[in-house]
Structure 1
Amino acid sequence: MNPFEMVAIIVVAVMIASVLRAKYSHRRRLRDIDPVEQAETLRLKDEVKQLKERLHVLERIATDKENSLAREIEELRDR
């Protein structure tokens, strides 16, 4: 076995080991998450979802023509 083959085998072995270590350490971290942190994460995800919805509405308002915006406001007043 020449030195270049040996280096290639070592590189491949290190790459496989790093992938396996990353995979299994990620699973361990998911199990170790505190319930309080999980609740906070869910709350923050919900807040981000609400903010994205609001942003979508604001983008729609900003890109609509002024006439359609005025018409929608008048329709809301008529209800």
Structure 2
Amino acid sequence: MQATLSHTTTGQNWLDQVFSSFKSGEAGAVRRRIQDVEAECGRAALELAVRKRGWHLIETDRDYIILCTTSPFRIIC
């Protein structure tokens, strides 16, 4: 889904709020419901924001999980 005009301003504000606590470079994780992401900014905008930071995005059945680190990771099980 491409970000639409209605998603542009409010979506960017929402993304800024989601990532604001990780500006200092501190690693962590953020989880957001897929339905909330779609309502606020759309998957494409979220994916672009995560890629720009060099972080990782994981999708589960109902959530997106953002690993706020550029370090590699392994899924154990």
Q: TM-score range by the shorter chain?
A: under 0.3
Scaled by the length of structure 1, what TM-score is found? 0.25
Q: Looking at secondary structure, tell me which structure has more strand per residue.
A: 2
Q: Looking at secondary structure, tell me which structure has more helix per residue.
A: 1
Scaled by the length of structure 2, what TM-score is found? 0.26
Higher relative contact order at CA 8 Å, sep ≥6: structure 1 or structure 2? 2
